[in-house]
A = this chain, B = another copy of it.
Amino acid sequence: MRVFISGFGTVGRGAASLLAERSAMLEARFGEPVSLAGAMDSKSFCIRSGAGGFAEAVSRKESTGMCGPELRGGRSAEDVLAEADYDLLVECTPTNIEDGGEGLKAVRRALGDGKDVVTVNKGPLALRFSELTSLAERNGCAFRYEGSVGGAMPIINLCRECLRGQEIRSVGGIFNGTCNFILSRMDGGLPFEQALKEAQQLGYAEADPGYDIGGIDSACKVAILANSVFGRDVTVRDVSVTGIASVTEDAIAMAAGRGMVVRLIGEVSADRLEVSPRLVPRGHPLSISGTLNAALIQTDSAGPVTVTGRGAGGRETASAVLSDVMAVMESRRRARRPPGAESARPRPGRRRHQQ
């Protein structure tokens, strides 16, 4: 399977490194090798034989700052993809929630050309979900995006695979580690401004933290869950959003006096789409501290199921890409297999009772 990686920042490189490390396992398990068909960043690209292997591309980027030997010049992502021979696009460019940016164009082009797509980019999913899933279905393509919500925390595949058969009533959670770090530090008595400064010093918050602390990043994830888990057709603009800038030390202290903490919770259900700071009892699965993400899934028969994990980090998010890539390889393997191979071994009882 030939993989093209678009976006070669921490996540794209993390995915390339993980695919390099796991290549022997993948080939043994799925019966075909995984190779790098090409990669691009905002300024350069490599395709075909110039791409080398996954590890070679990572080391080229890390030593030269360039993704490949060729300069993008005026070429769009679509132009570059049109030149590449690939089976699967791994899309890891930064999220653009104005118009989806190059990420949306690349995903649309790949699906339009009948390629499988794995993406961690929230923009296309939070803006044009139904268009892209319809396109994928029409062209018989896999389209997977576990890493777009919660990084390494399984949530979309968890709802679809492990909780298969459940009616999922709501998903509420902590979808932004920066906000959770700040609120956790405020639990310890720090004022908001100081907690934010600490988050910036530790590299958890951007110099311009508005996208995180304003709740927009969480709102993108809520929109993606609404579309993917609840079958709704929404965009990030449909989400009601309150960020954490207005959470005061007094509010935190008052909550603590009642055995509670304040957390920024995103919630989605059939009729709810919201991001806002809320009170959570200590000992509750969503009362976690630090940069983790968490999600509480309410189901009709399993009851509540909660999952937590690292919501960011190149290697962590790449682990979600790997899981999706393996699901794509599994369906490619099945499509190649002869019928009945699934139950090739003798089944004495089956035979005995078959009519």
> Is the beta-carbon distance between A305 and B305 smaller than 8 angstroms?
no
**Whose C-beta in chain B lies nearest to the C-beta of A315?**
B301
Which residues between 245 and 300 of chain A lie within 8 Å of chain B, taking CB atoms? 282-285, 287-290, 292, 294, 299
A24 at the interface (CB under 8 A from B): no
Chain B contacts for A154, CB-based, 8 A:
158, 162-163, 305
Which residues between 312 and 355 of chain A lie within 8 Å of chain B, taking CB atoms? 313, 315-316, 318-320, 322-323, 325-327, 331, 334-353
**Whose C-beta in chain B lies nearest to the C-beta of A320?**
B302
Q: A161-B161, A301-B18 are in contact. Are A113 and B348 (CB under 8 A)?
A: yes
> Is the beta-carbon distance between A140 and B335 smaller than 8 angstroms?
no
**Chain A, interface SS category:** mixed
Of B110, B184, B316, the contact of A283 (CB 8 Å cutoff): B184
Q: List 22 A-B contacts (CB under 8 A).
A: A112-B349, A114-B350, A114-B352, A115-B350, A139-B346, A139-B347, A140-B343, A140-B346, A152-B299, A154-B158, A154-B162, A154-B163, A162-B162, A164-B322, A283-B287, A283-B289, A301-B315, A301-B316, A303-B313, A306-B308, A331-B342, A337-B339
What 9 A-B pairs have minimum CB-CB distances, sorted nearest first? Answer: A113-B349, A140-B345, A114-B347, A154-B162, A283-B289, A114-B349, A335-B342, A302-B319, A152-B302
